[in-house]
Amino acid sequence: MHLVYPAVLSALLFCTGLYGVLARRNAILVLMSVELMLNAVNLNLVAFDVWLSRAARDTLHSGQALTLFTITVAAAEIGIGLAIVLAVYRNRGTSDIDKLRDTAEGRGDAEPGAVAAQKTEATA
């Protein structure tokens, strides 16, 4: 099989996940997109492992082993990630990423008075 097929599919999936990470508003959807990216990498790993083991370049099946590890790590990541998202949701009442702007300039604390004071300071 032509190696380009899995490689290109992997690249496209990766970029699709990338788009999802950058564009999605809901944190859980972002996590899904991260999963897509991880899977794209896995596909790459498997394809290259098959190719290299056939060509007797690699006898350790490192690609497949790494894929397994990636899957495991991804599972752990999704667990922790969901816990964090739930904690955030409990605290903030939302899981929309673009509403979590605590690090924004001038919006450190959401009190309008403080914002106004900082704005006047900025304009002064």
Name the residue nearer to another protein (CB basis): 113 or 123: 123
Question: How many other CB atoms are there within 10 angstroms of residue 40's CB atom?
Answer: 20
> What's the CA gap between 25 and 47, in Å, rounded?
33
| Closest distance to another protein from the beta carbon of 106 (Å) | 7
Name the residue nearer to another protein (CB basis): 110 or 113: 110
| Closest distance to another protein from the beta carbon of 111 (Å) | 15
| Closest distance to another protein from the beta carbon of 18 (Å) | 5
Q: Are 84 and 17 in contact (CB under 8 A)?
A: no
Name the residue nearer to another protein (CB basis): 4 or 114: 4
Q: Are 13 and 43 in contact (CB under 8 A)?
A: yes
| Tokens 């752990």, located at residue | 76
Name the residue nearer to another protein (CB basis): 107 or 111: 107
| Closest distance to another protein from the beta carbon of 117 (Å) | 15
Q: Measured in Å, how far apart are the chain's first and last C-alpha atoms?
A: 67
